């Protein structure tokens, strides 16, 4: 590291450090409240295979959530949390839209989030 390095490379080095410092000084770098998407587990009916990021209609039948594809029921959740059931019930006529977040390969159960 001689004088030629300091005169030629140092300004570029300092600019890159300044860009990094500016990125870290953003006020929303770390959020205080992370976004939590509540999901519930669905048992498939008639050996249906769920696909990640696919949207389905959710309908309440009492406290049981029925997952629909068109007019055909493809899954159900008997033990969904009361928060999710309440969210679907308040969304309008007990019908909501949900998206598949995860699929378990051995049991073919799906984790669905209410939109």
Tokens for 61?
Answer: 């039948």
* pLDDT at 1 exceeding the cut of 60: no
Model pTM above 0.75: no
The reported pLDDT for the residue numbered 23 is 75
Using 50, 70 and 90 to split pLDDT, how confident is the model at 90?
Answer: confident
Distances from the Cα of 63 to the Cαs of 38, 66, 80, 95, in angstroms? 17, 10, 8, 12
User: What is the mean pLDDT of the segment spanning 18-42?
Assistant: 74
Mean pLDDT, rounded, of the chain: 84
pLDDT of 56 reads: 94
Q: Quick one: average pLDDT of 66-86?
A: 91
Average pLDDT over residues 57-72: 92
Average pLDDT rounded to a whole number, residues 17-39: 72
């Amino acid at each position: 590291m001689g004088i030629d390095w300091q005169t030629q490379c140092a300004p570029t080095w300092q600019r890159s450090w300044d860009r990094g410092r500016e990125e870290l000084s953003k006020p929303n770098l770390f959020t205080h409240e992370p976004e939590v998407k509540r999901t519930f587990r669905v048992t498939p009916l008639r050996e249906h295979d769920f696909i990640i990021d696919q949207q389905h209609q959710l309908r309440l039948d009492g406290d049981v959530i029925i997952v629909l594809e068109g007019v055909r029921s493809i899954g159900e959740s008997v033990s969904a949390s009361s928060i999710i059931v309440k969210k679907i019930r308040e969304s309008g006529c007990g019908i909501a839209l949900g998206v598949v977040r995860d699929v378990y390969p051995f049991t073919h159960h799906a984790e669905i989030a209410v939109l």
